Structure 1
């Protein structure tokens, strides 16, 4: 039976477009079975307020759909919803295809840099499976880096993991002089302070109809949830620093949670010698998410760079 809890507005290539096949997932990952519940409407689901249930669902999804046999993270680390995360990957593939005669470029020569990859490593895991791109993941948290490397090694994957040792920088110290990335991606810290993050967590618990707790079902450490100035400041810093790597990245991108952040970012981009920027909406159920993309390469140069990589 398929769960109806998932959105039918995901990207057309998203494997989770039609919801979760919980029976199949339980067959692939037996540990999921004890977490299955039946809703008042008679549909199978899981208790999304239970962080262990959510993590076990992710393990099943990664095993069944992305050939990831081992995936485990500490309770305090961010446990991302797989369908929404992989949607970003598919829209990034469309972005690259727009410079390649609408053909999605695939293969190990396509290089992607995931900023703030976290212990969960979700973008490299799903993106390398879907398009066989070569991913590099970076993070400022040493323990997250250690766990991400373990996941990579246990699954025999060729994903590069880099520790950003200076929290003041985003690309510096990660992008080497001879590197060329076709795209960067990022799910930036959303909140501007620990207090704001805590209030957001309590609000989400109430929306789930549960008594507020100290942690959310999807978890998250401080550096994953908040930074000074929130996502607006984080992405603004990314935009400013991107100019130093203008010739080494074809498309810089980042998710943008708050619509009001876009104006700030657009003004920031207009002050730089970029060739083009785009705001791409991704509709997921009642929620509309988006990412912003900018490039210093004109279209002809982008096409040449992609063609040389294929």
Structure 2
């Protein structure tokens, strides 16, 4: 029996991994399955190939993604946690829309750092039918995302961010309108700190020391100068120029201690609204911060989801 989680009520993975369903959908997963001490079916999450095959099965079984792969050593995201962000974003938009969950391609979402896996557009389109624009600084990651779209006949607007120091500048066009932006920022401040984070993760998995990540990750996916506070502060600063083109700007925040600093940054930016949404995921709690420059009584027609 799968172990229950504390995921969002609409998250299809809230009851844990249904390996019988996953193996039936993708038989290639079966050789990677094993039994834990309680006799339950699982995989070795220390095995990069097993994690990737699990993701492939999850995307095919729950999100109708028939073909999915990504280049070696690119971030292979944990699907249940990533889709939780999508469901909580739907709730955020619902609170701006008379508590009606917004569905359909009229909802425009901007995915900053969409990555080689295209995880947010894949899950968000399947769950709610939203239309996504995905942005990334890495041409290899974008080509992988393009290939996923071609293989599955998906409509995602993919754009290259040509300047590493920019987030919204250069990729939001004058006629663009978005209901929400989302981002999973690099949270380490240096390569050294990213390496120490890697060692802690492997220790928690019981593998000892390793330079590899079971979920992978390129440098730009894992760290940037100044870490996530500087990255999100730059997002806030640049978002002011697009205040009337996006209803809610959001970003995951890995460290709870960073929230108060980010509140101060948002207050200085004179946002109309801001919120922090916590997401319980097993023994771990993650969160995202959201801000808007537009008061509810000032929202133009396109933003009424």
In structure 2, C-alpha distance between the alignment counterparts of 1:48 and 1:236, rounded to whole Å: 33
Which of residues 242, 256, 259 is equivalent to 2:256? 259
In structure 2, C-alpha distance between the alignment counterparts of 1:302 and 1:27, rounded to whole Å: 47
Matched, 1:123 2:120: yes
In structure 2, C-alpha distance between the alignment counterparts of 1:174 and 1:21, rounded to whole Å: 39
State the Cα distance separating 1:168 from its structure 2 match.
1.1
After superposition, what is the alpha-carbon deviation per residue over 1:109-147, rounded to whole angstroms, capped at 9, x for unaligned?
110000001101100000011000000110001100110
SS at match of 1:20: coil
1:239 alignment counterpart: 236
1:27 alignment counterpart: 24
Is the 1:117–1:139 Cα contact (8 Å) retained in structure 2?
Answer: yes
State the Cα distance separating 1:211 from its structure 2 match.
2.5
State the Cα distance separating 1:213 from its structure 2 match.
1.4
Is the 2:236–2:266 Cα contact (8 Å) retained in structure 1?
Answer: yes
Using the TM superposition, name which of 268-277 and 85-94 deviates more: 268-277
Matched, 1:216 2:199: no
Which of residues 263, 268, 272 is equivalent to 1:271? 268
Which of residues 124, 130, 150 is equivalent to 1:133? 130
1:181 alignment counterpart: 178
State the Cα distance separating 1:173 from its structure 2 match.
1.1
Structure 1: which 5+ runs fail to align?
Answer: none
2:286 alignment counterpart: 289
Matched, 1:114 2:98: no
Poorly superposed stretches of 4+, deviation over 6 Å? none
In structure 2, C-alpha distance between the alignment counterparts of 1:209 and 1:11, rounded to whole Å: 28
1:14 alignment counterpart: 11
After superposition, what is the alpha-carbon deviation per residue over 1:58-105, rounded to whole angstroms, capped at 9, x for unaligned?
000000000000110122100000000000000000000011110011
SS at match of 2:299: helix
Superposed counterparts of 1:4-153, under 5 Å: 4=3, 8-153=5-150
Total equivalences in the alignment: 305
In structure 1, C-alpha distance between the alignment counterparts of 2:255 and 2:5, rounded to whole Å: 22
Is the 1:37–1:45 Cα contact (8 Å) retained in structure 2?
Answer: yes
1:3 alignment counterpart: 2
State the Cα distance separating 1:274 from its structure 2 match.
1.3
State the Cα distance separating 1:41 from its structure 2 match.
1.0
Matched, 1:171 2:164: no
Is the 2:247–2:303 Cα contact (8 Å) retained in structure 1?
Answer: no
After superposition, what is the alpha-carbon deviation per residue over 1:163-207, rounded to whole angstroms, capped at 9, x for unaligned?
101111100111100111100000000100011101110111111
In structure 2, C-alpha distance between the alignment counterparts of 1:108 and 1:301, rounded to whole Å: 23
State the Cα distance separating 1:284 from its structure 2 match.
0.9
State the Cα distance separating 1:273 from its structure 2 match.
2.7
Is the 1:94–1:104 Cα contact (8 Å) retained in structure 2?
Answer: yes
TM score, norm. by length of structure 2: 0.98
In structure 1, C-alpha distance between the alignment counterparts of 2:49 and 2:71, rounded to whole Å: 10
State the Cα distance separating 1:303 from its structure 2 match.
7.3
